[in-house]
Amino acid sequence: MAVSLTGTRISAVALPWFVLVTTGSPTQTGLVAFCEMAPYVVVKALTGPVVDLIGPRTVSWTTDLVSAAAVGAIPLFHALDLFSLTSLLFLVAMVGAARGPGDLAKAIMVPEAAERGGIPLERATGLSGVTERFASTVGPAVGGSLVALLGPLTGLVVNAGCFVLGSLIIMLVLPRGLGHGTPAGPASPGHQQPGYWRLFGEGFTFLRREPLLLTITIMISITNLLDAAFMQVLVPVWANESGNGPSGIGLTGSVLGIAAVCGSLIATTVAHRMPRRLVFFAGFFLAGAPRFFVLAVGAPMWSVLAVFAIGGLGAGFLNPILAALSFERIPRQLLGRVNALRDSLAWSGIPVGGLIAGAVVASLGLVPALIASGTAYFLTTNLTGLRPEWREMDRLRGKGRADERKEDPTGQSSVSTAL
């Protein structure tokens, strides 16, 4: 996870900067982001049953190889003078289509890895969060430095190399028994294994009956849209207009990432003893709107870095809580299907985030776009918490496992020991 995610974070600096300095257009920068993230969301939603059927380990290393080939083709086409905006859009769409199931496969191996390692689930998800935050720290720093010193295409070459290395680690180092497909258990004599659409429907039905997970997912879809607008367009435009350049993108991203690593490490140690709901919304309060406003007011760089550091500390607590909730409430055999749908819905705003931000910046300018986005972030993360289902975040904690769910006579799924 650390290797492949680090490469992705390098690309997140190199690719937008490459498009922005090549075309000078925030709108085209947002278009490239859309063409990567739209296939990511759609393919991820549809491949959940496939991951359950053939196993996440196989899906992970094969999709990383596809991503490596697509990313590596961008500098290759440029060197051969075959590069065009159309070819770039096609290649980033390939990357997104491969990354979706690849990221899903890595995530759903976490609970089984935790069992094999004898580690509590919240600690395991905390370590997974630390890994993600570590990649978000190293990636922007390396990406910003590579782009500033050697150009954005070098960053894309390094990204392709990270995908290859990540694929080899999963394929050659992980135990072969880890993450075997378990869609619905072995087929009974005379009965065929459930088909693709039945497996897909089981995941959809389960998610529809889980109001807490569904509410969280809808909220995250809005914040992800705003985060995508921020990282894909607003920060690069701010860096360009303020004169901070790609090194400014890398520095702010690294400060945010370092603080998030610290927050995730703290969460790994103490999160299982803290009230989830309070920590969750406090983390969003620190990590959300302040980042937008500090750039809007034209604050000096030290102030920007201070706000990003505080925001990163709050953000470090979020993913461990979200992952623990997911693994607690979703039965193991449904993890691929349900998480594919949840992730796709949560990421559904990301493809259009850059497009919207590019259009708003082109029409109204950077500052109005930052203020509007920050205000929307604040309202989303505060008003959502008034809904009643959030009480279940702490009430059901640690009282039962999703794998112990059973069907009652009406067909409704319930937690056998939690309710």
What architecture does CATH give domain 2-178+198-406? Up-down Bundle (1.20)
For the ranges 151-160, 265-274, 410-419, which has the lowest average pLDDT? 410-419
d(CA 138, CA 2): 10
d(CA 71, CA 158): 9
Given this model, what pLDDT does residue 134 score? Answer: 78
In the predicted model, is pLDDT for residue 417 greater than 50?
A: no
Q: What is the DSSP string of 89-141?
A: HHHHHHHHHHHHHHHHHHHHTHHHHHHHHT--HHHHHHHHHHHHHHHHHHHHH
| Structural tokens at position 221 | 């879809």
How many Cα atoms are found within 13 Å in the side-chain-facing hemisphere of 385?
15
In the predicted model, is pLDDT for residue 366 greater than 80?
A: yes
CB 316 within 8 A of CB 129: yes
d(CA 20, CA 239): 11
* Bridge partners for 414 per DSSP: 406
How confident is the model over 310-332, as pLDDT tens digits? 998 888 888 777 777 777 777 77
Given this model, what pLDDT does residue 375 score? Answer: 92
d(CA 129, CA 193): 35
Q: What is the mean pLDDT of residues 2-23?
A: 81
Residue 334 DSSP symbol: G
Question: Which class for 169: exposed (0-12), middle (13-18), buried (19 or more C-beta within 10 A)?
Answer: middle
- 407 backbone dihedrals φ, ψ, rounded to 5°: -90, 130
CA distances from 36 to 66, 129, 355 (A): 14, 23, 12
Higher-confidence residue of 291 and 393: namely 291
- For the chain, the structural domain boundaries read 2-178+198-406
Residue 193 DSSP symbol: P
Given this model, what pLDDT does residue 187 score? Answer: 45
Distance of CA 220 to the CA centre of its chain: 10
Residue entry with tokens 């296939």: 39
Q: What is the mean pLDDT of residues 264-283?
A: 75
Given this model, what pLDDT does residue 3 score? Answer: 87
Using a pLDDT cut of 70, give the percent of the chain over it.
86
Mapping DSSP onto H, E and C, the string for 223-266 reads HHHHHHHHHHHHHHHHHHHHCCHHHHHHHHHHHHHHHHHHHHHH
CB 344 within 8 A of CB 42: yes
Given this model, what pLDDT does residue 33 score? Answer: 78
pLDDT grade for 177, boundaries at 50, 70 and 90: low
CB 40 within 8 A of CB 232: no
Given this model, what pLDDT does residue 11 score? Answer: 81
pLDDT grade for 232, boundaries at 50, 70 and 90: confident
In the predicted model, is pLDDT for residue 414 greater than 60?
A: no
In the predicted model, is pLDDT for residue 371 greater than 90?
A: yes
Q: Give the angle 264-40-17 at the CA atoms, nearest 5°.
A: 75
Q: What is the mean pLDDT of the chain?
A: 78
Higher-confidence residue of 74 and 398: namely 74
Question: What count of other Cβ atoms lies within 10 Å of the Cβ of residue 144?
Answer: 27
CB 52 within 8 A of CB 182: yes
Question: What count of other Cβ atoms lies within 10 Å of the Cβ of residue 19?
Answer: 24
pLDDT grade for 200, boundaries at 50, 70 and 90: confident
pTM above 0.75, yes or no: no
